[in-house]
Homo-oligomer: A and B are copies of this chain.
Amino acid sequence: MSAPVYEKVALIGLGLIASSMFWAIKRGGLAGEVTGFAKSAESRETARRIGLCDTVCDSVADAVEGADLIVLCVPVGAMDSVAAEIAPALKQGATVTDVGSVKRSVIDAVAPHLPDGVHFVPAHPLAGTEHSGPESGFAELFDNRWCLLVPVEGSDPAAVAKLRLFWEGIGANVDEMAADHHDLVLAVTSHAPHLIAYTMVGVADDLRRVTDSEVIKYSAAGFRDFTRIAASDPTMWRDVFLNNKDATLEILGRFTEELFALQRAIRTGDGEHLHDYFSRTRAIRRGIIEAGQDTAAPNFGREGGSR
């Protein structure tokens, strides 16, 4: 057990990310006390029942009262109103951070509300699962994943360094990145893939000549991986797309261009083009496994394997 990095931490919004942070904070002894708040009374009840947070507060102002670190874990579209609500209750010298998947629009939404003497250090841990809600969290979610800190103009270096220490204690590797570049990188590694997966699953659900029951039974041939991504939280993802519009549409534009070229290769029977393209993409997979960002076990290891 190391010394706490912050005396009091407030988690605002008690979904997958906040609940995983809580268990990781406890595992690492990173805070003296953790308070929590969720807008839904049901989520607060669940949190109390499973021991999520030392204290679950019924108002967001109570939760942030006296906190040294406030982590906004609400959907990106709710950041503006939550920031406005907590602002009057913030302690001088406190640090406000967030875990939103988009950074430019979160900065624009949150920064104007924060009083002088409060530090703002936006962040984004690159980890998640298809599950959501206060019961979906687990301490290992961030282990060996990346957390990107996106300091804004005037972010206090000491506050940034402390937040870095905190995320490292949670298990993550930490990098710093500028907001606009973050939003472009995430459009590639996350936002466009999610929209594409949602689209493919929606198409499969909507065909007349292939039944849902057939799609479900025969999904192991590739489709089921898409359904996992397309089972992610709808509110979170709506807000991501509405708030990272330009970068997402840019990447989707490139995607469509490339897809049309491959469709034409299929139509014209250009096997060489297809083979070259399919060979090239294997290298990226190797890179991800070598970087420790995925398992090399077949099918992610979800099925046993022996001779």
Binding site for B on A (CB under 8 A): 23, 50, 77, 101, 126-131, 136-141, 143, 145-146, 148, 175, 181, 184-186, 188-190, 192-207, 209-210, 212-232, 234-235, 237-239, 241-242, 245, 248-249, 251-252, 254-256, 258-259, 262-263, 266-267, 269, 271, 274-275, 277-288, 291, 293-295, 297-307
Residue in B199, B210, B228 whose beta carbon sits within 8 Å of that of A300 in the complex: B228
Q: A188 near B223 (CB under 8 angstroms)?
A: yes
Please give the distance in Å from A207's CB to the nearest CB on chain B: 7
* In-complex Cβ contact of A225 among B139, B175, B225, B262 (8 A): B225
Q: Could you tell me the distance in whole angstroms from the C-beta of A300 to the nearest C-beta in chain B? A: 4
Give the residues in chain B near A306, CB-CB below 8 Å: 23, 138-140
In the bound complex, CA of A225 to CA of B225 (Å): 7
- Quote the shortest CB–CB distance from A195 to chain B (angstroms): 6
User: In the complex, A185 Cα to B195 Cα: how many Å?
Assistant: 22
Q: How many monomers of this chain does the complex have?
A: 2
Is B223 a contact partner of A189 (Cβ separation < 8 A)?
A: yes
**Contact at A275–B305, with CB atoms within 8 Å?**
no
Assuming A138-B306, A175-B217, A198-B281, what are 20 further A-B pairs, CB within 8 angstroms?
Answer: A23-B306, A101-B221, A127-B220, A146-B220, A148-B218, A188-B203, A189-B204, A189-B223, A190-B221, A192-B203, A196-B200, A216-B287, A216-B293, A227-B281, A231-B281, A245-B267, A249-B267, A252-B259, A295-B302, A297-B302
